[in-house]
């Protein structure tokens, strides 16, 4: 992909898009992006303007930050999580929510999905921490999108990506229904009627076999639709991990100078970098935190602070991220322990806090375990 910025080339790009619209009117309009879901195997090769490049990068980054924040605040898979994800993605990434699209609109949305993924892949291939963050958010986004698709769409996606997982017929499901129930503690006859099942080589479903979630016969595991996503995600994770290895990014070097996300890795996150190891602790007071949250926090930390004040609890990922953040602001270990204890004590007694949570706080300050003095994560 080449990023261009002269007026002449922008005009050429306009003609290129007009030609694209013409192509959409024939039977081959979906050859390039023939499904809403993608494994992102092939990098884009078209020319785009610098403005379009920047806009796609920023929008995709906003999507991934929302995916991260929603995953921290809500339990993944629960109805509240799904509702909030749908609301945000409907605004930022309409292609993630299946609906009746106009042909031209859906093609353009698929194109943006494809190109924006590769732009951020460029920006996030620079270090192990960045790669890990990018993969985690892309996987959560993929899981949500996969579970929105119907049986016909999933079958096409599996076929397009050479994933040989075959949906079983209604007749076969009826014949094997009793065996499915006996093989899995999570299934009943009533639920089986409304679930699609897929035949998967059992060697690709070992976690499900280990957890006694599937019926096995003749070398195949019969996997319910909701569990199939974990198998597909394993393939997606392996592909992304391989593609994000630093040497895989070398072909992109020719556009690095034009990419606002790739000038230096810490410019990518939306917010300031609080990972300075020379932060002086003890420079703020606990009573100042609420005011700081309103006036000075980046959006993601403001959301975590609000969730903590509202629920008097955060999940492990949220505690880790926010705990290191307020450490970076200047809280001492004693202040941090007092801060978390005061908030959590509204839902539990002091003994439970000391047993389950105090250790991790001391660990983040290098006073437990390997005694590593952890630095804050970029917001």
pLDDT, tens only, 209-267? 888 888 999 999 999 988 999 899 999 999 999 888 754 555 444 454 344 444 433 33
Residue 126 DSSP SS3: coil
Residue 282: what pLDDT? 47
pTM for the model stands at 0.62
Residues 109-132: what's their mean pLDDT? 90
| Percentage of the residues of the chain whose pLDDT score is greater than 90 | 35
What is the structure's pLDDT at 140?
A: 96
Q: How confident is the model at residue 206 (pLDDT cuts 50, 70, 90)?
A: confident
Per-residue b or e along 123-162, where b marks 16 or more CB atoms closer than 10 Å to that residue's CB: bbbbeeebbebbbbbbbbbbbbbbebbeeeebbebbeebe
Gyration radius (Cα) of the chain, Å: 24
> Cα torsion at 336, 342, 347, 353 (round to 10°)?
50
DSSP assignment string, 134-196: HHHHHHHHHHHHHTTS-HHHHHHHHHHTT---EEPPHHHHHHHHHHHHHH-TT--HHHHTT--
Is 60 exceeded by the pLDDT of residue 132?
A: yes
Sign of CA dihedral 129, 132, 134, 136: negative
292, pLDDT greater than 50: yes
pLDDT of residue 82: 95
Q: What is the pLDDT of residue 98?
A: 84
Residue 371's pLDDT is what? 78
Is the pLDDT confidence value at 107 over 70? yes
What does each C-alpha distance from 370 to 299, 363, 373 come to in angstroms? 32, 8, 9
> How many beta carbons lie within 10 A of that of residue 295, not counting itself?
8
pLDDT at 103 exceeding the cut of 80? no
């Amino acid at each position: 992909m080449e990023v261009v910025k002269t007026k002449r080339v922008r005009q050429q790009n306009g003609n290129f898009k007009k030609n694209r619209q013409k192509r959409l009117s024939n039977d081959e309009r979906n050859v390039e992006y023939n499904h809403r879901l993608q494994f992102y195997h092939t990098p884009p090769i078209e020319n785009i303007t610098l403005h379009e490049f920047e806009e796609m990068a920023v929008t995709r980054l906003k999507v991934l930050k929302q995916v991260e924040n929603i995953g921290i605040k809500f339990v993944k898979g629960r109805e509240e999580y799904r509702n909030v994800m749908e609301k945000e993605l409907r605004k930022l990434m309409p292609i993630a929510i299946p609906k009746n699209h106009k042909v031209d609109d859906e093609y353009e949305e698929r194109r943006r999905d494809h190109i924006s993924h590769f732009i951020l892949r460029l920006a996030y291939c620079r270090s192990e921490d960045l790669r890990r963050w990018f993969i985690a958010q892309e996987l959560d986004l993929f899981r949500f999108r996969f579970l929105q698709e119907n049986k016909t769409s999933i079958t096409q996606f599996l076929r397009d990506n050479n994933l040989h997982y075959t949906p079983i017929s209604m007749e076969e499901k009826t014949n094997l229904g009793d065996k499915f129930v006996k093989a899995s503690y999570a299934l009943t006859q009533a639920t089986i009627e409304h679930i699609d099942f897929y035949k998967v080589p059992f060697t690709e479903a070992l976690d499900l076999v280990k957890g006694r979630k599937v019926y096995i016969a003749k070398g195949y595991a019969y996997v319910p639709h909701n569990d199939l996503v974990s198998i597909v995600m394993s393939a997606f994770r392996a592909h992304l991990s391989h593609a994000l290895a630093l040497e895989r990014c070398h072909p992109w070097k020719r556009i690095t100078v034009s990419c606002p996300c790739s000038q230096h890795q810490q410019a990518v996150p939306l917010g300031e970098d609080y990972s300075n190891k020379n932060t002086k602790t003890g420079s703020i007071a606990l009573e100042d935190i609420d005011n700081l949250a309103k006036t000075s926090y980046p959006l993601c930390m403001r959301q975590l602070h609000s969730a903590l004040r509202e629920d008097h609890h955060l999940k492990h990922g949220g505690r880790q991220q926010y705990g290191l953040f307020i450490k970076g602001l200047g809280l001492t270990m004693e202040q941090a322990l007092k801060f978390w204890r005061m908030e959590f004590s509204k839902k539990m007694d002091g003994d439970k806090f000391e047993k389950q949570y105090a250790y991790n706080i001391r660990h983040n300050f290098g006073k437990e375990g390997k005694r590593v003095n952890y630095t804050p994560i970029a917001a």
